[in-house]
Structure 1
Amino acid sequence: MHCLKAVVKGKVQGVYFRDFTRTQAIRLGLCGYAQNLESGTDVEVIAEGDKDILLEFLKLLRSGPPHAEVQEVEVSWSSTNGNYGDFHIKY
């Protein structure tokens, strides 16, 4: 199991990006969360799961939902501690 941390930059707040992320993560069986960052433009995503599935998820983050305009995704990897039992949106 691996942990993906992604900071998605661009027009990703106010366009249902977190909901899109949650829907895709649940579909793929991932655990973690998505939250808006204080910058007002970025979304942080933490996801735990198998590396191959996380790579597929990362492709989805890079495209986003229809009204999003993803400009950049900063990615880091670590081993997972199994901290999350589901995937949710943090407010």
Structure 2
Amino acid sequence: MSKVCLRVVVSGRVQGVWFRRFTQQKAEAHGVLGWVRNLADGRVEALLCGDEINVRHVEAWMSQGPELANVAELLSEEQPWQADYADFQVLEDAEA
């Protein structure tokens, strides 16, 4: 299987609805490594690394998000492979 990293940014009603925690659960369930965090502008950003099929599953889930979310847009771009993650973390909010 090919390995891939994706930087994903979601906008809409994605903060205050447990988006990061559910993303962490989905990533862990699919063996995806990386992180997720809130951005100061109200969006959520994630770095997803792992087997491409599993990363794409998490990306697809993020396009909908948890029940209370309302995802308006999902942007993703491939990033260079980063093997330095041992798990999937919820990071502190990004500074403005």
SS at match of 1:57: helix
Separation in structure 2 between the aligned mates of residue 8 and residue 28 of structure 1, nearest angstrom: 20
CA RMSD of aligned residues (A): 0.8
1:7-86 correspondence runs (5 A): 7-39=9-41, 41-86=42-87
Give the number of the structure whose residues are more often helix, by fraction: 1
Cα distance, 1:57 vs. partner? 1.0
Unaligned runs of 5+ in 2: none
Separation in structure 2 between the aligned mates of residue 65 and residue 81 of structure 1, nearest angstrom: 27
- Identical positions, percent: 33
- Structure 1 segments, 4+ long, off by >6 Å, are none
Q: 1:59 is matched by which residue type in structure 2?
A: A
> Structure 1-normalised TM-score?
0.95
**Range with greater deviation from structure 2 (5-14 or 50-59):** 50-59
Cα distance, 1:56 vs. partner? 1.1
Cα distance, 1:78 vs. partner? 2.2
Separation in structure 1 between the aligned mates of residue 82 and residue 39 of structure 2, nearest angstrom: 23
Q: 1:73 is matched by which residue type in structure 2?
A: L
Deviations 1:20-56, CA, capped at 9 Å, x for gaps: 00000000001000000011x2000101001111111
Unaligned runs of 5+ in 1: none
Separation in structure 2 between the aligned mates of residue 79 and residue 3 of structure 1, nearest angstrom: 6
Cα distance, 1:64 vs. partner? 0.3
SS at match of 1:21: helix
**Range with greater deviation from structure 2 (23-32 or 51-60):** 51-60
Q: What is the aligned length?
A: 90
Separation in structure 2 between the aligned mates of residue 22 and residue 81 of structure 1, nearest angstrom: 18
1:90 corresponding residue in structure 2:
91
